[in-house]
Each structure stands twice: as C-alpha cells, then as structure tokens.
Amino acid sequence: MRILRVRAPAAGLQGELTVPGDKSISHRAVILGALAEGETRITGCSTGRDFLHTAQALVAMGVRIDNLGEPDLLVHGVGLNGLTDPAEVLDLGNSGTGMRLLLGVLAGQGFAATLDGDESLRQRPMDRVAAPLAEMGIRVTGQGERCTPPVTVEGAKPQAITYHTPMASAQVKSAILLAGLYAQGTTVVVEPGPSRDHTERMLAAFGAEVNVDGLQVSLAGLPRLCGQEVAVPGDISAAAFLLVAGLLVPESRVTVCEVLLNPTRAALLDILERMGADIAVWNRRIVGGEERGDVTVRASELMATEVGGDEIPKMLDEVPILALAATQAEGRTVIRDAAELRVKESDRLATTTEMLRAFGAQVEEQPDGLIIEGPARLVAATVDSHHDHRIAMTAAVAGLIATGETVVEDTTCIHTSFPGFADSLGSLGAQVGTT
C-alpha cells in the first residue's frame, strides 16, 4: 500500500508544467493503429496502467508495439483482419475503457476471446456494450444480469445496425463503431446527448468514412485504415487536479501546457469560470484534429453553481475535484444527472461524499448527484482511496487547503492515469511525501 502525506504549502503554488497524454485519445490511437495498415507513430502517449493494459492486450493478439511504456510509440498495424487468437485471457487491469472498446474490436474477429480485470473492473457492467453487439449478431457473455467481467466475446461477422443509446456514453458509442468497421453497410449510433467524440475524429483521420450529424454518427463498414502520426495532447482530466489546486491554494499561479481543449471534454473550465475562477486559456491551436492550448489559473474566490444535463458527459471524470472546489465556494452547489458515477472505479458519488465529509465539508449525497454547502474550513483527514485514482488525487488536493497533515491511503491506483502526480504537485511547491 502506498501512502501520500500532504500538508498545506507555506506559500502559494507556482509553476508551469505538463501532464501525461490524454488517456482516452491514447486508447483509441493504439487500437486504430493496430487495425490500420502500415505504421502509426504516437507521440505524447499516456504511460498510465490503464493504457498499458489495452496496449498489452493488442500485443497478446499479435500486434508489435515498439517502446511500449514510453510516451512515444511505434505501432506496426496488422490491418482489420490481422489480429490473432490470444493464448490466454486478456487482462485489462482496471481499464473499463480498454475493455469496452476491445469488445467492439473483438466482435469482428474470427475467434473467441475472454477479457478480465482486477477486482474493481469485475464490478463494472458490460451489458451496455453487450446489448448493441447482440443486435449486431455478436454473442457476448459475462457474469450475472449486468454482464460483469470476465466477459467472453465470440467474434463473427457483425451486422450494420442503427442503435439509439440509452445514455450518452463515448465508450458505448465507440464499441459499436469499432464493431461497425467489420460490418457490410452503414452502422449508425444516435445518442440522447453529446459525449466525447475522439473515436469519430480519429476514425476519419485513419481513413474511415464517418459522418456526424448532431447527435448521430454514421460509419461506412469495411474501410481501409492507414497508419497515421498521432500527437496526443495533455489529459485535461489529469490537469484538472493541478488547476483546481491552483485555484484553491491562496496566492497560487499555475499553468498547465499543451492541454486537450476538445469541447466535448472541457466543460470543467467553463463551469469553474462560471464560479468566478481566474482562468486564462491561450496558445490555442489544432494538432492532429484535436484542439489544445495552455491554461493558467490564479487563486480565486468562488461562487456556487448548478451543474447538470449536457454538461455532465463533458466533465464526468472531473466531478470529484469539482465537488472539492464547491466546498470552497460561497453558497450551495448542486450537481445532478451524474448517476453514471456509481459504476466507475468506485461508486464515486458515495466515495466523494465520504471523502469530503472526512475533511469536514457539508455534502449531501443524492441518487444522481451531490449537494455541497460552502465555504467550509477543511481539517486534515486520513482517507481511503477505495482503489479509485480520482478519489485519491482529489483527497491529496484537499490536503493542500486543510489544516494539519492529510494521509491518503492506497494511492497505487493513481498510476492508472497520472503516474507522476505527486512529483507534479511537489514541483509546484506542495508539501507531499510518499511512504
């Protein structure tokens, strides 16, 4: 068990830094690079454990990846039909994204494969992917009614369908589109609201015929994918922890460079600005089809707000750190329409509530969200991460504004997305120790 010990810094946080490559884009880049013809060079890639499990699953199916574990990779594509039957169960660790996307890929293979994960991933439902794949003629079997891992997919020839997703989910949409690569005809996904759009952007870049019309995405099957150069921007979900720390610790000024600014992912910045945060976004540009830029924050007095509806899918992973910011805002902040957080690495509505209450914050858990009263004077606490990297990192940031020494237990999970998190905080002047 790794422990983080955190104290409020003697002075404000100061500095300029980068964060690991965006995890969502990295997953998709290595998968499409594997399915393409020729080489795909990925720069700035995630080095977190979630991504590595996805990449290693592809290696187990015959894909050669040079420099795996480094930010810059070379993927030797095998083409749409070049994957080979893995000799063993594919271990996805804690990567729900990797598992759901690979279920879509495996739907079009000529073999059956079983995917498994750690204790946390074994609690996460795969029925939301299994249901549309079944409509495409693909058999997916898991454990219980929610089709939890281990999950077996029997590859075949998927049929093109039009599928209306019950929730806005990029993972579900992506799994269907990846299966649609192997279908004759056009596969269509219609969502009830916007979700992150990295898959459709990247499919088009690799040569697939993709059409986006509002909340509807159409993909022509059986394309020829060609290897590409993919430059991965910094992960905004990782940057969120450093940016909120800069907003909450007095006299701070923090800049995170080369951050993803895709509008389907950047809602947290808009919400924080609405709360009164001093945020400057500059050096905006498009690289490889994705917007990126540099973000500077200064310590700010915040006001409460309400968050819900279409904003939630655009910042779902950032709800715990937003909730921490809300504990320091004047008034009552309401977060709703976020029931999806109950089936993440932990039940994040429950674990966020438990964690913030441990620091002395006033938080009320709702079926689909949180109500937070602020501002609250936080007192150091000993916090269990519940094996959830977002909870662990939020607790560490809370420790920077709490009186006394905060202890965050079981923080090995942080390596799934942000291996250098503690060092990054330290570089800004935070008092962070590890044992």
Q: What is the CATH code for 4-20+233-434?
A: 3.65.10.10
Are residues 268 and 27 in contact, defined by beta-carbon separation less than 8 angstroms?
no
pLDDT digits (tens, 9 = 90+) for 193-252: 999 999 999 999 999 999 999 999 999 999 999 999 999 999 999 999 999 999 999 999
Mean pLDDT over each residue of the chain, to the nearest integer? 97
For the residues 124-144, what does the mean pLDDT come to? 97
With bands split at pLDDT 50, 70 and 90, how would you rate the model's confidence at 121? Answer: very high
| pLDDT surpasses 80 at 175 | yes
pLDDT digits (tens, 9 = 90+) for 182-199: 999 999 999 999 999 999
CATH architecture for residues 23-231: Alpha-beta prism (3.65)
Whole-angstrom Cα distance, residue 195 to residue 215?
9
- For 32, residues 6+ apart whose C-beta sits below 8 A from its C-beta are 40, 202, 203, 206, 225, 228
pLDDT cut 70: percent of the chain above it = 100
Phi-psi region of 81 (alpha: psi -120 to 50; beta: other; left: phi over 0): alpha
pLDDT cut 90: percent of the chain above it = 97
Measure the CA angle with vertex 193, ends 317 and 303; round to 5°: 50
Catalytic residues: 317
How confident is the model at residue 327, as a pLDDT?
Answer: 98
Report pTM: 0.94
How confident is the model at residue 343, as a pLDDT?
Answer: 83
- Residue spans of the domains in the chain: they are 4-20+233-434, 23-231
Name residue 429's beta-bridge partners: none
| pLDDT surpasses 70 at 1 | no
pLDDT digits (tens, 9 = 90+) for 28-76: 999 999 999 999 999 999 999 999 999 999 999 999 999 999 999 999 9
With bands split at pLDDT 50, 70 and 90, how would you rate the model's confidence at 345? Answer: confident
- The count of residues in the chain is 435
Among candidate residues 217, 119, 142, the one with its CA nearest the CA of residue 172: 217
Whole-angstrom Cα distance, residue 171 to residue 241?
23
Q: In degrees rounded to 5, what are phi and psi of residue 37?
A: -95, 135
Check if 4-20+233-434 and 23-231 are the same fold: yes
